Amino acid sequence: MIRVAALSDIHGNLLSLEAVVADIQAQGTPDAIWVLGDLVAFFPWPAETLARLQALPNVAFLRGNTDRFTATGTRPALPVRSVEDWQRFPVALAVRDANFRWTVERLSYADYQFLTALPEQLEMDVPGYGRVAAVHGAPGDDEARLYPNAPDKIVRPYLAGLDARVLLGGHTHLPNDRVVEVYGWSTTAVQACPSTATTAPATRCSISMMGGVTSRSAASPTMSRPSPPSWRGWSTLCESG
């Protein structure tokens, strides 16, 4: 059995992170801890949060969109859809830039180097089960939002080239545990293989998006979910084997 704890979207919130870590430790030390991005912006403890995450045992990280914005100087788009939006645009720009500047001012150069080196995806091959992958938003797009109510036809294109049985993610700040059938892909092996037959059996990909303290109590795509805590923090504990 392999047990993986996945955390996402901490956003510099050290208090919530400590609560999540305590919850994970109460369930027993996992074999690996995956942190799925958005580590330091916008809460009051960016440097302290990053240091606490780096001190976790058997930890691996991937990059979220706000990590990219923080380290590269790029900024999220601010859509303007109305006269009112345009009138608020100068203030919205100032607030957006001030948030990232405040975070950057509290990070060291070593923190910057760490953020710039983060990968976009994590993967693990679980013997007897298959490959588990993790991203921030969606494969190939750290800003894509795979909401719980998104139709399968919206989700499938992101999964078409995914070589994994289970996908973990974050970004939306909402819990999302679902199985998506990806048509046109063979199920004769755990690794999805392209098939030209439009009626080929469907590959079933289980997607788990972080959105509350959750636990996977058996080798199954189904998660048991206690009520989300009042503090802001997300984790999931997965068992496979």
Give 168: exposed, middle or buried? Use CB within 10 Å, 0-12, 13-18, 19+.
buried
Question: How far is 171 from 82, CA to CA, in rounded Å?
Answer: 26
Kindly give the pairing relationship between strand 59-61 and strand 193-194.
unpaired
Residue 71 β-bridge partners: none
* Number of other CB atoms surrounding residue 10 within 10 Å: 29
Annotated domain spans of the chain: 2-240
pLDDT at 183: 56
The CATH superfamily assigned to 2-240 is Metallo-dependent phosphatases (3.60.21.10)
Backbone angles phi, psi at 230, to 5 degrees: -80, -20
Task: Look at residue 11 in the predicted model and tell me its pLDDT.
Answer: 94
Task: Say if residues 206 and 191 touch (Cβ distance below 8 Å).
Answer: no
Task: Dump pLDDT digits (tens) for 109-142.
Answer: 999 999 999 999 999 998 888 888 999 988 888 8
- Which residues of the chain register pLDDT less than 70? 182-241
